[in-house]
A and B are shown apart, each in its own frame.
Chain A
């Protein structure tokens, strides 16, 4: 225990200031009303869904919880159930095999809900294209509020996208 405490003290606080929001990332008009966002502040629960990605985006989404980005300190956390979520953070491309599961998760998420499509594949311009096996971007299957492009997007870009989605119109 002494070693653990010593290492925690030695490491200190590494959290960095979050990035500014960027309205350019919005793809459609905000579903959540500004008034509601003012009330909720930044308290947000995210359900992340891999709808067919190469796992590259997931690795960067994981990094949001590391001490540098410290997502939870901003009041944002990940949930295991879409029923507990305010936002779906979805990577793609949406495969045909995941299409039904994604639609069910979307239907389970209580309204009003935010959908953020992550990565070039989620945005619909990824390397995998559309085919018998791939529906393409997330917007081909469910309505998308905001897109965070990148292959994969950096944690800072992801954080900016999430904060923009809850920054109000």
Chain B
């Protein structure tokens, strides 16, 4: 089939996700990428694979989000010169995935940014861990690195280096601010500090063991990752997941969304000096997590989603407790929202701060929560729903302002909608089995694509004949949103950075892998 009237032959990929794959070359990829941009679509992800065992050289995969679903282009690359055209001029968001792909596989985007991304000089430049013949257990002594940050020059301009260890209890990253007075002229991020070799680690695991690792790529999104991973695995094995399990997965995903929004709303109040907000929201979050521990055995819901279904169940008594808690939390959060809305000092800090304009958000392919606060109305739960979302009629929230205030309001609205969804899921939960056997995996590419609380999580999975993972790439929505934060902070004052950063609350571990 054709997509966007481009001369590429797309085939529907197996599985529940509406995804279409086509092989192409560099020119075909650029022409399609341009057509996607013209049609209002977005860049989703880019990653590479080593296929030399099949005498097929390397491959680079590029995923785009369209109204029809996910378009996945595969470019076969020669084993002796694995190069493909630089996508950054069309999609600035491609910069970091391209650099990460080069660091891990030695696949080069011709003319792209030559600086390393995940490699911090702690392994040699010609050591490519994701090459299949690379012995990833080798270790090397750490070396100092002189990273070429872009310098801002002019009278009175100076730099503030922050990190990798940040002042708070937060993941490590490096932020280089160029400022004049208190005003931020430029922010440049250097991430990769939590690179743990996750993708190589997958290649030592079986399809069913990989789920535990997928659920730990970004600890705040364990349900989203585990579900995306399981969708990919189930599409490889043509597994029919029982209805009850699908509905319970949605229940868990919405609970994860509420838990994160509760925490963020507390911290956003606190970062604007309203510590009352932190105490109140963290109390509610603690109540929420305790219920999860009690009903599902884990506060953060880790390992509750498993290949073939779910590892938990909900009793009638548990269902009643969930409904009661939703109503209690809704009552409390409505009261706190009223306090936040009416608090002049808080609104003064929130409004117009850290603005990401809608046009820029579109240019940077920003989706997820941050995108919806800047008019980017992408939500897989509506547009590319996996079961049971097609039956739930999710009400999407979106705003145009793109400032901290918009991201705060969006969290309130999404939280209320998730509480409604939880009630609906509990009321309509089908009876039946909780898990189906996975079956024998095929050799195709399996995809999972799930709207987590932060945005869309994509997992692409391939296995060998013996059921061991051959390649697994998990893509966090933060890849595309981090560069947007660099823009959103421009022109703001340095003390507003923590507030702006928190309003995005992006994952480090999810992009460092």
Contacts and interface: CB of A to CB of B under 8 A. Distances in A.
Interface residues of A, number: 50
Nearest to B173: A50
B339 interface: yes
A21 B417 CA distance: 42
Contacts of A154: 293, 299
A154 B286 CA distance: 11
A3 interface: yes
Given A56-B302, A128-B196, A96 B219 contact: no
A39 interface: no
Contact of A55 (B171, B276, B278): B171
Nearest to A134: B196
A60 to B, nearest CB: 7
A93 B201 CA distance: 13
Contacts of A66: 279, 282-283, 285-286
Contact of B220 (A56, A99, A130): A56
A4 interface: yes
Given A55-B171, A78-B169, A132-B138, A97 B201 contact: no
B473 to A, nearest CB: 16
A128 B197 contact: yes
Contacts of B278: 65
A59 B338 contact: no
Contacts, number: 170
Interface string A58-97: 1111110111100000000010110000000000010111
A152 interface: yes
Interface in A40-68: 48-63, 65-68
B216 A98 contact: no
B127 interface: yes
B172 A101 contact: yes
Nearest to B104: A133
Interface string B150-180: 0000000000000011011111100000000
A127 B217 CA distance: 10
Nearest to B121: A97
A8 B120 CA distance: 48
B125 to A, nearest CB: 13
B413 to A, nearest CB: 21
A57 B195 CA distance: 17
B372 interface: no
B200 interface: yes
A93 B339 CA distance: 41
A53 B286 contact: no
B398 to A, nearest CB: 27
A81 B166 CA distance: 9
Among the interface residues B219, B222, B276, which one has the most CB atoms of the partner chain A within 10 A? B219
A127 B213 CA distance: 6
A65 B142 contact: no
A95 B222 CA distance: 21
Interface residues of B, number: 60
B219 A53 contact: yes
A63 B283 contact: no
B342 A127 contact: no
A25 B221 CA distance: 29
Contact of A131 (B167, B200, B218): B200
B283 A68 contact: yes
B280 interface: yes
B307 to A, nearest CB: 16
A52 B279 contact: no
B172 A130 contact: no
Given A58-B170, A129-B201, A8 B276 contact: yes
A142 interface: no
Given A132-B136, A132-B140, A62 B171 contact: no
A38 B279 CA distance: 31
B219 A54 contact: yes
Interface in B453-504: none
A20 interface: no
B263 interface: yes
B217 A61 contact: no
Contacts of A151: 216, 302
Contact of B509 (A54, A101, A130, A132): A54
A52 B283 contact: no
B300 interface: yes
Interface in B258-316: 263, 276, 278-280, 282-283, 285-286, 289, 293, 299-300, 302
Interface string B79-122: 00000000000000000000000000000000000000000101
A99 B164 CA distance: 11
A52 B213 CA distance: 15
A105 interface: yes
Contacts of B222: 56
11 contacts: A50-B169, A52-B172, A54-B219, A56-B219, A56-B222, A95-B194, A96-B120, A97-B192, A129-B201, A132-B140, A154-B299
Interface of A: 3-4, 7-8, 11, 14, 48-63, 65-68, 78, 80-81, 93, 95-101, 105, 127-135, 151-152, 154
Given A127-B216, A128-B198, 14 more contacts: A7-B276, A49-B165, A56-B302, A58-B169, A59-B220, A65-B278, A66-B285, A68-B283, A78-B168, A97-B195, A101-B172, A130-B137, A132-B137, A133-B136
Interface of B: 120, 122-123, 127, 129, 136-140, 142, 164-165, 167-172, 192-198, 200-201, 204, 212-213, 216-220, 222, 263, 276, 278-280, 282-283, 285-286, 289, 293, 299-300, 302, 335-336, 338-339, 342, 507-509, 512
